[in-house]
Amino acid sequence: MQRITLVLLVLLAVGLGAFVYFYEIRGEPRREAEKDAQNKLFDIDNEAVDHIELVNTHGALDFEKQGTDWFLTGEKRVRADATSVDEVIFTLNGLRIREALGVQEDLSVYGLETPRITVVVSAGENEERLEVGDDTPFGGMTYVRTGRKPGVYLVSYPLESKLDRGFDDWRDKQILSFTPSKVTRIAIEAAGGTLQEVFRDGASWKLASSPHQRLDAAHFQGLLYDLDGLTAVAFTGSTDLEQYGLEPPRWTVTIVEKGDEGEVSHRVMFGEEDDETRRVPVVCAPGEEVRLVRMSIVKRLEKPMDELRDKRVVPVERFLIGRLRLTLDGQTLEAQKEKESWSLEGSLDGKVGVDGVASILDDLADLEAEALIDNVPEGEWARFGLETPFLTAVMSETDPDGNVTGTFTLHLGEVARDEGDRVFARVEGDPTIYQVSRLVADDLRALLLKGGAGDPDSR
């Protein structure tokens, strides 16, 4: 008898455990999904929505989808901000009932007799409707009605901020659409016809009229990102270019982007800025509506090219240098990177050491010009002490397999006679003579000779 009782208890425990597991644990997600479906006010495929009618305190708005783009239609057809429109669809589909108040005879109590916002979302033949009434005095909830569920409901979502916007608020504010990393050329034309064109050369930017002159890459990358992020802060409703100082424009910027099927050009014209409102009128082509943007971008356009020279003497990437050959007053050092260390050879080997190589590379990669002399012919190198330089550094960038991908040769010559705190330098293949800090040159000599440095003047 006791054995039978024990067996029954065991079976009861197993059955109870199975119920808890299959109903309470495994069945919980399904019950939650069913409850969520019952509380949904909208049920429409986000991707299938192709039309939206919106009536709010600003008037009636009509949105139409073509491909992946949304357009505002009506008196004039303009591109809408697709992100904002898609956000509305996701918001409506995400609405959940917080409380069902049932069918009410007097809708004016809830602000639903004449709703302040009505939105109708269509996806082909499917249609969903939402009417938005008043907010509750407390609790941050809103009274709504739908076309799918009869009655009045409370939802807790800031619908007004998402739906109660005017025509211009829904418009696409992007001025240009391009990918900064694919841009190969930039042309900047000032009023009066002064044209400056630059082009991308690897990681560098160069002046088209003087291809050897490297420019400040950070400036032009910043300009591209400013142009890519250029958005309208206001719409004028006017196409009168002369009224906004756009005939002729103060600046015209043309960027050329490398596309899948060839080069693509984008152009934007800037008018006269308004110092009071801090805004600048822009247009991409005659006949378009003039839009206003913030004037911060003008500072980049105003900067003259001679102030945008890249002051780095050697356009090398420090972390990519895998080989180094130095010659100092007839003594040599050969260094080759092996994993995280360096193998050294040459008469300077015992004086420099691995730590010294790292410091030398830092100095060479960070070397900046304090002054430049352009287009110096080879026959004049001698007067700068660069025909027989006191220091030559050959730096090679390498890939992970140790293969050389680029080589730069730097020469340091005499102390500048008129500028005793500077030393002349040049890079092979570049006709520019750079004047660099004598302190850096002295530091390099000291690192190589470990205290046996002479003075460049003593040569």
DSSP 252-283: EEEEEEEETTEEEEEEEEE---BTTTTEEEEE
Q: Tens digits of per-residue pLDDT, 107-120?
A: 999 999 999 999 99
Are 192 and 236 spatial neighbours (Cβ–Cβ below 8 Å)?
Answer: no
Q: Tens digits of per-residue pLDDT, 185-234?
A: 999 999 877 789 999 998 889 999 888 889 999 999 999 999 999 999 99
The 10 Å CB-count burial string (b at 16+, else e) for 422-440 is bbbbbbeebebbbbbebeb
Are 435 and 419 spatial neighbours (Cβ–Cβ below 8 Å)?
Answer: yes
CA-based nearest residue to 432, from 374, 378, 380: 374
What pLDDT score was predicted for residue 13? Answer: 63
CA-based nearest residue to 309, from 383, 393, 214, 242: 214
Q: Which domains, and CATH codes, for the chain? A: 39-170 (no CATH), 180-307 (2.60.40), 318-453 (2.60.40)
Residue type, 429: G
What pLDDT score was predicted for residue 80? Answer: 96
- The mean pLDDT of 430-446, rounded to a whole number, is 86
* Between 260 and 453, residue with greater pLDDT: 260
Instruction: Give the model's confidence band at 453: pLDDT under 50 very low, under 70 low, under 90 confident, else very high.
Output: very low
Are 186 and 201 spatial neighbours (Cβ–Cβ below 8 Å)?
Answer: no
Round to whole Å and give the CA distance between 29 and 23. Answer: 10
Quick check: helix, strand or coil at residue 305? helix
Q: Which two tokens stand for residue 153?
A: 């409901």
What pLDDT score was predicted for residue 210? Answer: 87
Round to whole Å and give the CA distance between 96 and 41. Answer: 6
Angle (nearest 5°) at CA 74 between 70 and 76: 85
Among 5-14, 86-95, 119-128, 143-152, the minimum mean pLDDT is found in: 5-14
3-state helix, strand, coil in the chain (%, to 5): 30, 35, 35
What pLDDT score was predicted for residue 58? Answer: 93
Round to whole Å and give the CA distance between 409 and 40. Answer: 69
DSSP letter for 221, please.
H
- Whole-number percent of the chain with pLDDT over 70: 88
